[in-house]
Chain A
């Protein structure tokens, strides 16, 4: 079994790679790793869903394989594809050899028979183009498989994932069933764009990651930018939390908090003022309307 000894161990290991988990995150990760179940992570954009998978890979020293979902994603792009061009090219090149092979056959049936014996040569791993899911299953080393934004994919694709996530095997008609050598740690993320099917949910352990509590966020800022003054970190986190309460098109997430803190460090700011916020607002808000709104409610945000 890959992974962790206890809930505390999870927290410790994740912290060692600069990811500070809440107790809930640590518990769920531990349970998922121990029972080899996929984790379905939900939460607002930028709360650290994808980062969790990255941190898991880093702290366990595993390779991370990522599959980004989108509308129209199909098996050929997610699992495997036959390389037709290569197969055709090979057939052309070994034409002579094939002719030799069937030269002595007395009937067509016999010739077909002889070619059929060689069929494996054409439908073998050599001509198989492995996509992320197959890579994760066939990898010699255990891996972390991140299936990002599963809610963006079509319901058909979700159904197709079921076999993979419950048995960790894939069936390729020409070759047979491939079982995973190591069961990967699977993390699925969802932005709640639409509801995920019950069947898929049943196979996963659910985790909701919200924006971190103020204290946790402060710790994260201090961890990422060790040279920051505690007072400034306080102010930054306070302000960001107030901005989050505004009715924005896109709320600032943790990475924006950190970007902003970094920007303030570069500008050598020691104290937040409306002027400073106004100058650096573009780091926090990514839409013109949001920028205007924060500017308008400046006195509410900076108290």
Chain B
């Protein structure tokens, strides 16, 4: 029993769940309290101890099924069905009819009860994207090999069904049918393992689509459809918004010195004057300590929205104690300095012309995350909110979502603003659905009203 659990723990750890020894001991202790034959209780106990957030629960469930159901050697095989070598024989017979190659071999080994070659094949697929990053930067080869295995599985399935209905062999027909059914079941398992999403499930994700409709005409126009005059109007509205934000901030400064009397500190300073409370000290309202790191896509596909986003990021710099801003196309460029030194319009102009951002390159989010992770990870702390602005269109490059996951672990919140309408997320080269799983909050942000709504949520 304990060995089984320890094996499972190893499996959990390998797949990224953090399970500590203390938690293993806890669960072992708890097994004494529950009815172990009740699977619900058994699973709940393991889950309550091993998966400690909703995101991990999904991973846990997948592993649990794999470990305790799919991969466990079937116990009924010896009772109802022929011996192992008979299965082997039958499989060999089929195999001779199908072209010999390592892939088919792996599938047949899996059916015969030796899953290792097949698992290795799947593992190779999963890691394929990372290995070929430098040369190809694409996940297409991974998809095509996946397809190949699927075809092979289908082929095998057809043959097995044939076998199931085939009564002409010399052994008893019932036995054959039972064996084929068993093999089909195994094949289903193999198929499920191949097609299963390994992406984490993000239930706590806050997805905001609703927004207030403050400016009816202008507010509803997508950034990409604005005319020259409307852009001017938009500017003035944004200026207003920025002023409002600053007002709120200065009010916060102003109220800092008001509030309840702080008896402790007043008495302490009074000691200096023989107990006469000359200076009265109030409890201070702490300023918001939040730090903000923004990553803003300025590539061609979001060109129209980028200007407004930069404008918004610029104004945020005044509202929080620490804002670091980056613009990117295929690698992050630190634009914090430009924003700090110049007036807003000039700063944006400068970002779009003077920096060494390569505007001709193809957008590559994976690369951006990779470089950011390498060079600037120390900017993220538990007080940081990371705001990513972009359409997640990564030109079929490797999305590197694992890096975003690591970044998420470092900071307080990850918010993604997407200037595309929601129906287009995940279409074509958009990796939005991949990245979504690693954000705390995602919002479409393609017109003024949505932008205002977001800022109000963040600042006020």
* Chain A bound to chain B: yes
- Interface residue tally on A, bucketed by range: 35 or more
**Residue positions of B touching A, CB distance < 8 A:** 18, 20, 22-23, 26, 29-30, 33-35, 40-41, 44-45, 47-49, 51-54, 57, 204, 207-212, 263-264, 267-268, 275, 286, 382-383, 408-409, 412-413, 440
Q: Residue of B at shortest CB range from A202?
A: B20
Residues of chain B within 8 A of A248, CB atoms compared: 210
Q: Residue of B at shortest CB range from A199?
A: B20
The answer for the CA separation of A201 and B20 in the assembled complex, in Å, is 11
Beta-carbon contact of B263 and A40 below 8 Å: no
> With A27-B40, A84-B263 in contact, do A201 and B53 touch (Cβ < 8 Å)?
yes
Beta-carbon contact of B54 and A24 below 8 Å: no
Beta-carbon contact of A27 and B41 below 8 Å: yes
Within residues 1 to 30 of chain A, which ones have a CB less than 8 A from any CB in chain B? 7, 23-24, 27-28, 30
Contact of A249 (CB < 8 Å), options: B26, B48, B210? B210
Interface string of A271-298 (1 = CB under 8 A from B): 0000000000000000101100100000
Q: Residue of A at shortest CB range from B213?
A: A289
Beta-carbon contact of A202 and B382 below 8 Å: no
> With A88-B267, A192-B54 in contact, do A206 and B34 touch (Cβ < 8 Å)?
no
Contact of A208 (CB < 8 Å), options: B26, B57, B286? B57
Interface string of A187-222 (1 = CB under 8 A from B): 000001111101001101111100000000000000
Given A27-B40, A202-B52, A206-B49, 9 extra CB contacts under 8 A:
A7-B41, A24-B44, A34-B30, A88-B275, A192-B54, A194-B412, A201-B53, A208-B57, A293-B210
Within residues 244 to 267 of chain A, which ones have a CB less than 8 A from any CB in chain B? 247-249
Number of A-B contacts (CB under 8 A): 92
- A42 interfacial by beta-carbon distance below 8 Å: yes
> With A202-B23, A247-B209, A290-B210 in contact, do A27 and B263 touch (Cβ < 8 Å)?
no
Offer 20 A-B interface pairs, CB within 8 angstroms, sorted by A.
A7-B35, A23-B40, A27-B40, A27-B41, A31-B30, A31-B45, A35-B26, A42-B53, A84-B268, A85-B267, A192-B53, A192-B204, A195-B409, A196-B53, A201-B52, A202-B52, A204-B52, A205-B48, A247-B207, A249-B208
Residues of chain B within 8 A of A82, CB atoms compared: 264
Residues of chain A within 8 A of B263, CB atoms compared: 84-85
Beta-carbon contact of A34 and B210 below 8 Å: no
- A37 interfacial by beta-carbon distance below 8 Å: yes
Residues of chain A within 8 A of B30, CB atoms compared: 31, 34-35
The answer for the CA separation of A196 and B204 in the assembled complex, in Å, is 13
Beta-carbon contact of B34 and A27 below 8 Å: yes
The answer for the CA separation of A207 and B51 in the assembled complex, in Å, is 9
> With A27-B40, A35-B26, A249-B208 in contact, do A194 and B440 touch (Cβ < 8 Å)?
yes
Q: Least Cβ distance of A12 to chain B in Å?
A: 16
